[in-house]
Amino acid sequence: MIVAATISLLVIMFFSIVGGIVYWVIFSQKRGRAEKQELTLHLGFRPAEDADGALAARIVGLHGRGLQQKLAVRNLAVRQEAHGDVYLFDLEDSARTSTDPLEQNGVAVVSSRLSLPRFSVFPKAPGTGRLAGFANRVLRRFALGDRQSIAVPGNPRFDQQYVLAGDHPEDVLQVITGDVLDAIAQKLYRQIEAGGNMFTYERIILDLSASESKEIEAQERVSEALELFRLLRRP
């Protein structure tokens, strides 16, 4: 009798714990979706209808590196601007053991006034020592994919902070002029992926404990992306 009662108690405890975990996960997901919706509404965005997934597929295509990834775009929201549409998105990789998204509140700008060659801009590891050099070699190996690293002579500040890569260097350098390089180099730890009538603009957050609110940080990203759009767009 005692053994049976003990087993029953353990079973009840087990299912209570499992049920509590499931409830906490569902509650956290609902709260996260509500916070995300509130943030996008405050910034003037609305949920984007991408029924055939065309835009999401393009964002995934720009970020793919030929690795064992299963990328997916979540929480896509749109805001119409005078010369195009601005999107907010989260990027997830279900192949990772971590459930944290690769990118939160990334910005995509889509406009008929953009005609961009395929290029990428990603940050270098800080410092000049051996460790920084090794880190940058690893970054180049995994971040470049099939694209070539492109030298940007005459702009040491950009060269110190970023790597520029593309499929056709001569086409990229016709678009990525000194003004564009200067504008990017003024900010730290940004990542840009571009091609055709779209580019994405992301900010790598190193200090997760920073006091800046998510709304302010997201608004800064949007403003910086629109500033870059004004430099890249055709007359």
Condensed to tens digits (0 to 9), the pLDDT of residues 18-34 reads: 444 444 444 344 444 55
- CA–CA gap between residue 39 and residue 81 (Å, rounded): 18
What is the number of residues in the chain? Answer: 235
Distance separating alpha carbons of residues 5 and 9, to the nearest angstrom: 6
pLDDT at 36 (0 to 100) = 64
Number of structural domains found in the chain? 1
Q: Helix crossing, 214-232 with 2-42: angle to 10°? A: 40
Answer yes or no: is 16 within a domain: yes
Residue 25 inside a domain? The answer is yes
**In-domain check, residue 34:** yes
Query: Is the residue at 35 inside a domain?
Result: yes
Write the burial class of residue 231 (CB in 10 Å: 0-12 exposed, 13-18 middle, 19+ buried).
Answer: middle
Confidence of residue 3 (pLDDT cuts 50, 70, 90): low
**Does residue 91 sit in helix, strand or coil?**
strand
Residue 187 is assigned to a structural domain of this protein: no
Residue 33, domain member (yes or no): yes
Cβ proximity of 225 and 109 under 8 Å: yes
Ramachandran class of 145: left when φ > 0, alpha when ψ lies in -120 to 50, beta otherwise? left
**Residue 75 domain-assigned (yes or no):** no
Half-sphere exposure for 44 (CA within 13 Å, toward CB): 8
pTM reported for the whole predicted model: 0.78
Domain assignment of residue 19, given as a range: 1-42
What is the arrangement of strands in the sheet containing 162-166, beginning at the earlier edge strand? 46-47, 71-81, 84-93, 103-110, 198-203, 190-196, 116-123, 162-166, 148-150
Q: Which of 118, 124, 119, 121 is nearest to 139 (CA)?
A: 124
12 domain-assigned = yes
pLDDT at 231 (0 to 100): 96
State how far the Cα of 63 lies from the Cα of 143, in Å rounded to an integer. 9
With 70 as the cut, is the pLDDT of residue 12 above it?
no
User: Cα dihedral sign for 95, 99, 102, 103?
Assistant: positive
Which residues fall within 8 angstroms of residue 164, CB to CB, at 6 or more apart?
Answer: 119, 120, 121, 149, 150, 152, 158, 172, 176
Burial status of residue 123 (CB atoms within 10 A of its CB: 0-12, 13-18, 19 or more): buried
> Can you give the pLDDT at residue 98?
60
85 band by pLDDT with thresholds 50, 70 and 90: very high
Per the model's pLDDT, the better-predicted residue between 203 and 94 turns out to be 203
